[in-house]
A = this chain, B = another copy of it.
């Protein structure tokens, strides 16, 4: 089943302890759609400027991503400049130039309006709502957000959350949104805001999936080299939603499928951070993806307790 993503396409300039890159392909919708394209059809709604390289479009098209919802506007493409220290967990934003993204108003082609799986990337919550006004009867709506909207557009965000089934959020943002320091309490508070499921992302410490009745803890893949964490969260969401959409023909999004989706999100994110930008996602092959999924089993499996003592 197909999957719709609305978000940013950017040209990123990155500095990490391992090197520097200028104007490389980035943006939430880019990471998400590239990742999800490994699992099934993806429809992309985003905006680019006149300067956006044709080669990047060819890459996205080459991944089979439906670009009917992609518009090119007069002006420059959204640019983000960030720097990571050794912690590699949080980027320091050096510069943001919204450019054409400033007046982005997502308009869904007719063919996109019946799409069952929807991912609202990290854009203004009012724009996220506007997307939902246009889709007819989505089976599952997931969203991402960030500190900027939690602080600056809280009422709009709370309104959007009422219409969202699953929220992806990092731990610091979950605390900020909920006002709860403890991660379990924060998750419960967010579940009371609308979403029936929340995924709390914890960078190198993995991610937690909460619903009313279950908690699932998924580790991050222990990597000895992390080059560039940019896009890890959107890649995670892409692997997660791609897994749901590609398995959802039975119509059942149950715990076991959600857990597989969590692991696949972690698998894909573990590839993304191994190189700059989308370099690793460009080259990774399905057998590697399946092999790393199996590695997650080995990483987390343990036997039942059995007899102990004495």
Q: How close is A223's CB to chain B, nearest CB, in angstroms?
A: 7
Task: Kindly report which residue of chain B lies nearest to residue A259, judged by CB atoms.
Answer: B302
Binding site for B on A (CB under 8 A): 38-40, 86, 181-185, 188, 202, 204-206, 208, 214-219, 222-226, 243, 246-247, 256, 259-260, 262-264, 290, 293-294, 296-306, 308-310
Task: Kindly report which residue of chain B lies nearest to residue A187, judged by CB atoms.
Answer: B222
What CA separation (Å) do A218 and B219 show in the bound complex? 8
Q: Which of A214, A225, A264, A309 has most chain B Cβ within 10 Å? A: A309
Asked whether A302 lies within 8 Å of B263 as measured between CB atoms, the reply is: yes
The residue from B219, B256, B309 contacting A303, defined by CB atoms under 8 A apart:
B256
Task: Give 4 new A-B contacts, CB below 8 A, not counting A182-B224, A216-B299, A297-B304.
Answer: A205-B205, A206-B219, A216-B302, A262-B302
Asked whether A219 lies within 8 Å of B219 as measured between CB atoms, the reply is: yes
Query: Which chain B residues border A259 with CB–CB below 8 Å?
Result: 301-303
Asked whether B184 lies within 8 Å of A247 as measured between CB atoms, the reply is: no
Q: How close is A33's CB to chain B, nearest CB, in angstroms?
A: 16
Asked whether B303 lies within 8 Å of A222 as measured between CB atoms, the reply is: no
